[in-house]
Amino acid sequence: MEPIAVTRVQTLIDSFARKDVYLHLETTNGAYASHFDQSFFSAGAYIRNAHINYKHGKIIGDGPYRVGLELNIGWVYGEGLTHFELNEDGQLILAGLNHEDKIAVTLEISEQPFRK
Amino acid sequence: MVKKERHVLVIFPHPDDEAFGVSGTISAHIASGTPVTYACLTLGEMGRNVGNPPIATRESLPDVRKKELEEAADAMGLTDLRMMGYRDKTLEFLAPGVLKSMVEELVAELNPTLVISFYPEHSVHPDHNATAEAVVEALADMPKETRPTFYAVAITLDNPDVVYSVKDYMREKLLALRAHHSQFGATFAEREKHYRGGDPEIVERLENERFFNYKFADDA
């Protein structure tokens, strides 16, 4: 993965638009967060292989970045994104690393289902 | 130090769960001629320490961690490594009985006299606790006479029943810890420096491995 280059990522987002694609979206603090700090409210969300088709998508911000995808019947968005990669399987991987360089958010789009 | 066993079965959910707590014990059993099986339930797909620049993505991390796990197994001298194919952070959501059956099948196949896993409710991570509960459920159903001993690793309990010195196996243990580079990388390098420098607290933590002798309802 490399730091997000906005124009490149926008082109990649556009390349998946109006296609049936698979979505992976997660936010996470790590399961140990509240063990180390009891005042920490650990929240996260995870969806793997949601099957969506978005009309258009945008990347916004000056880093960390936000990505929103508009569906015919709804929305997908993620924020805190810092890095990207188009991997060898043609999957667009966007991830956000926090100040400790740990993954805090991931948004991925693929034409083939992600591995379970 | 470690007792001779017929077979030792180690069950943990994540690659690296074995490293700090039991890798010296595993090496000690192998050295004393006891066959050891390590069943690792997931490939730690949700690991978050990828470094910057990131060395892995969510999609490539399982392959990275699989290699690290194999390397750790080699370091410990372990030849029977089972990767069970579950997914990190989903274990507590599996259908009832799935993990229990998995444990039952391993126990039936390997006929161990000692099982090592986490301690239910005292292991901090939902996957750890779900694994521990499955082990207890499976073993509790066995007749007392044939039930293996269960040594449980607890993170939030004090006063373990069994403390093994694994001082003689520190070379293997340090290699096993180092193998899980994506998880411990820089943190462990720092710790290893202190260990080699003789920091008494770190020496004590690393050279001793702690277990609770789990008591089943029908145990005397």
Q: What is the pLDDT of residue B12?
A: 98
Report domain extents, chain A.
2-110
Average of pLDDT values for A70-91?
Answer: 97
Best of A103, A105, A110, A115 to mutate (most B CBs within 10 Å, chain B) = A103
Whether B124 contacts B156, CB under 8 Å? yes
Which pLDDT belongs to residue A34?
66
Per-residue pLDDT averaged across B156-172, rounded?
A: 96
A97, B62: Cβ pair inside 8 Å? Answer: no
Which pLDDT does position A30 carry in this prediction? Answer: 75
Chain A interface includes B54 (CB < 8 A): yes
- Give DSSP secondary structure letters for B38-96: EEEEE--TT--B-TTTTS--TTTHHHHHHHHHHHHHHHHT--EEEEEEE-TT-GGGSPT
Q: Which residues of B touch A101 (CB under 8 A)?
A: 49-52, 54
pLDDT at A42: 85
Is the Cβ pair B53, A35 closer than 8 Å?
no
Residue B103's pLDDT is 98
Residues of B in contact with A28 (CB under 8 A): 46, 48
Length of chain A: 116
- Give chain A's end-to-end CA distance (angstroms, integer): 21
Measured CA to CA, the distance from residue B35 to residue B109 in angstroms comes to 13
For the segment A90-103, the average pLDDT, to the nearest whole number, is 96
User: What are the pLDDT digits (tens) for B69-93?
Assistant: 999 999 999 999 999 999 999 999 9
A89 vs B58: CB contact, 8 Å cut-off? no
Nearest to B149 by CA among B159, B164, B135, B163: B135
A2-110 homologous superfamily: Hypothetical protein YojF (2.70.180.10)
Instruction: Quote the mean pLDDT of chain B.
Output: 96
Nearest CA in chain B to A104: B48
In this predicted structure, the answer to whether residue B194 has a pLDDT above a threshold of 70 is yes
pLDDT score recorded for residue B25: 98
Supply A19's token pair: 């296609």
Q: Which residues of A touch B62 (CB under 8 A)?
A: 115
Residue B185 pLDDT grade (very low, low, confident, very high; cuts 50, 70, 90): confident
**Alpha-carbon gap: B89 to the closest alpha carbon of chain A (Å):** 8
Q: Which two tokens stand for residue B56?
A: 């892995």
Residue A14: pLDDT over 90 = yes
Chain centroid to Cα B102, Å, comes to 16
Q: What is the pTM of this model?
A: 0.94
pLDDT tens digits along A15-69:
999 999 999 999 988 776 666 777 888 889 999 999 999 999 999 999 999 999 9
Q: pLDDT tens digit string along B110-133?
A: 999 999 999 999 998 999 999 999
CATH fold, domain B8-213, is: Rossmann fold (3.40.50)
DSSP symbols for B82-135: EEEEE-TT-GGGSPTTHHHHHHHHHHHHH--SEEEEEPTT-SSSHHHHHHHHHH
Provide mean pLDDT across the span B20-47: 97
B177 pLDDT band (50/70/90 cuts)?
very high
Of residues A2, A89, A106, nearest to B58 (C-beta): A106
Mean pLDDT of chain A: 94
Taking a C-beta distance cutoff of 8 angstroms, is the pair B128, A31 a contact?
no
Q: Does A23 touch chain B (CB under 8 A)?
A: no
ipTM: 0.90
